Amino acid sequence: QVQLVESGGGLVQAGGSLKLSCAASGRAFSSYTVGWFRQAPGKEREFVSAISRSGGNTYYAESVKDRFTISRDNAKNTVYLQMNSLKPEDTAVYYCAAHRSFKVTTTDPYDYDYWGQGTQVTVSS
């Protein structure tokens, strides 16, 4: 089992940057594929990005490709989401999640077993 805690959210102007962190506790963090999701008010939770257990493979939603970068440091049990060129439509609560499958292209939130509590990202225009 793994516990996840997100941090790094905040208020930023359009065009700005934020870096989110997802710190994991528990055993064998490197055996989990980790993803980021977001949920805006009144909308469904949507996939943002995922990274493989070793960090060698990544996957992005089209809406964030070329603006967001996911990475991980297994020695620190942490996954990061660097968000650049932020837009008002990126405003949402951002969650990290983990599952044991090797598939980095898993985008359905129901396929993820463990979730953090979320961190708010607000992008002003």
Joined together, the tokens standing for residue 80 give: 């990061």
Given this model, what pLDDT does residue 88 score?
97
- Summarised one tens digit per residue, pLDDT across range 57-102 is 999 999 999 999 999 999 999 999 999 999 999 999 999 999 998 8
Q: Let me know if 24 is exposed, middle or buried by CB neighbors in 10 A (0-12, 13-18, 19+).
A: buried
DSSP state, 52? -
Whether the Cβ atoms of residue 49 and residue 58 lie closer than 8 Å to each other: yes
Identify residue 95 by its one-letter amino acid code.
Y
**Which residues, including other chains, have CB under 8 Å from residue 25's CB and lie 6 or more apart?**
2, 3, 5, 77
DSSP state, 61? -
Q: How far apart are alpha carbons 118 and 37 in whole angstroms?
A: 9
Q: How far apart are alpha carbons 69 and 36 in whole angstroms?
A: 11
- Summarised one tens digit per residue, pLDDT across range 32-58 is 999 999 999 999 999 999 999 999 999
